[in-house]
Amino acid sequence: MLDDVEQLICLFNHCFVDYDTVLVAGDDEPLYLPKGQGRAQHQIIFAHGFFASALHEIAHWCIAGEQRRLLEDYGYWYHSDGRNQQQQHAFEQVEVKPQALEYAFCLAAGRPFQVSVDNLSGFQSDRHAFGAAVEQQYQYYLKQGFPLRAQRFIDLLTTARQSQLLGSL
């Protein structure tokens, strides 16, 4: 199992040097910042140094197109915890693809995955239905292919985990 956050940061930063993008452990909320305004590189900032947060934010980056990667947080809206029913359904529609990628990353790294509805103090949707939608998207990616950057990262995580397992023998 790949579980060292510092190793994950090094792996990502080496793998995507050609995208001028770095993975950064943050203190609070995750955020994507394009280069400029004193930043020499694009930054994927994940929350509290959590491994799962890093994989989730990488998944968003793997989906974002070239123009979106020039915008703070890819130009998307985000309503924090406390979303109403309509906001929560919109959130879940947007989250299916990145969480399906996060699931693939977790499998490649040998880590557990849990879907996240990320709305503790708001409308409580059907977590199982959302999990089924994430699984369906994951199965679609398996059949049709993952986005290119996502596949590149899956391959890297798989290789790193296998190397770690072989090194422990």
**pLDDT score for 81:** 64
Q: Give residue 84's identity as a one-letter amino acid code.
A: N
Share of the chain above pLDDT 70, in %: 85
* Sheet-wide strand order for 42-46: 21-25, 42-46, 31-33
Each residue's pLDDT tens digit, 106-134: 999 999 999 886 645 545 666 788 899 99
Find, among 57, 48, 53, 58, the residue nearest to 15 by Cα.
58
**pLDDT score for 82:** 65
Each residue's pLDDT tens digit, 15-50: 999 999 999 999 888 999 999 999 999 999 999 989
Regarding pTM above 0.85, the answer is yes
Q: Who's near 77: CB < 8 A, 6+ residues apart?
A: none
